[in-house]
Structure 1
Amino acid sequence: MPETVRGIGERLRQARVRAGISPAEAGAKLKMPTHVIEALEREDWSRIGAPVFVRGHLRSYAKLLGLPADAIAANVAVPAPKAAELVPRTYTPRMQRVVEQTGRRLVYVLITATIAVPVWLATRSHLDGSANDAVPLDGAASLTLPQPATATTADTGTASARVQPEPLVASIAPMPQRPQATTAASDLTVSFSGESWVRVTAADGSVIEQALVQPGQQRVFKAGQLGQAVLGNAQAIAVQYQGRPVDLTPYIRANVARFTVSSDGSLQPVDR
């Protein structure tokens, strides 16, 4: 620990005693658990967590006690936590993936053929059977009826009366329809505009990610994948669910957002 910050925990404790407040009262004012206040005064940084959490808590506690918060938080040397090793939960052999993809494509081809071939055959037979009798709709006005070749002037009126126009047939063949694509449910997206330490666990309690995330990065979680999240530096985090922004204010304490995700994707505060 640097010489400039040696004994910072004792300095915080003495300032609290001079202010006449207990650790529980200080925690209530800062909305921090009492064990966090006690860990700060003992300089037990490992009890608090990542460096970003330690500096955030120190800054808030120092401001409450009237100490130079920025100088204290900037000079504290806190060892960075070891990044958690992510182990894949399931493994699918490459040959199995190829077989599954080929099977899905064959099913699509069979469904398309089942719909398209009968329609094409019906349309073709209809067109072949009525090709000689069908004429364009816009050509009906120019259709000339045949006249007898040897009709006399006297019989012209009688022959015209006997000749009837042939019926016109208009053919409109139905076109096969493409299957409508279904829209998948939107994911839960977490965007980081500042450095933040995150701990994300699944519904069964297993750790999905525990690391220090850099600005500009983003995390996307599928429906039902995320169980509980703890996000440091909450002011630099934006959460979206189904494309709509989520207000993190109800879940933030001491600039740390804590929430659980229910089965329908809604956020709920963590019971502490």
Structure 2
Amino acid sequence: MSIGNSPEADRPSVGAALQKARIGAGLTVEEVSTTTRVRIPLVQAIEQDDFSRCGGDVYARGHIRALARAVSLDPGPLIDQFDAEHGGRPAPTPAAPLYEAERIRSEPRRPNWTAAMVAAIVAVVGFMGFTLFTDGGKSDSGPIAGGDANAKPAPAPTRHPSTIKPPVTPDPSDSAVAGLPKDKVTIKVTARDGQSWVSAKDANGKLLEDGLLKKGESKTITDKERIDLVLGNAGAVQLYVNGKEVKKVGDKGTVERLSYTPGDPQAG
């Protein structure tokens, strides 16, 4: 179904076109919400041309595209009509000035008291060993036949640096995986390069998380069986599943729907 060839004067609004197509397809708002995972109040608001609850034009376009496909409607003309009615797509702006106040400042580095104590103990032990060695050399010293009375004692043996093995530290990702429960699925979402809308449900459809994640913010979600995840502006997020990073989540401005269970992250 398409509205792209309708005369400009008779063309319905974006919300009216979506509502008309939904009714024509014999679908309820609840059924469309279940199919698209767009909340019922948000579906109703969009059908009334109220896009203020979408969280911005990027998310509004994603919701329009999802709702149009659910009712067998071509989303292209609707997106063009939305852009025309809302001033078109704005030119991209650097993200840093917009979110300057929201940057997370790193905490000042604390002194490593453990390393300092170890260094002090090593210094004390070395000094005591050197003292015992020199005292022992003096007590055992005496005239040596045919030797030089002013001869200096031989220096203490030292270990070559190549024989000292550095301490083995575990890989950070391995430590993170080992610290997580294996009988649960754990998801951590961080809005690294921009804000993102996040929604998560369990295997029974119960809502676990739903809201806008601002740049720099993180959310951790857990469940025993499965987590169905919806990410808006997917290219801006950093995603860890069961302690392992998912390298490619999606592109900026797109809406991605993913499902994860306990074990290695495999997108459903």
What TM-score does the superposition give when structure 1 sets the normalisation length?
A: 0.47
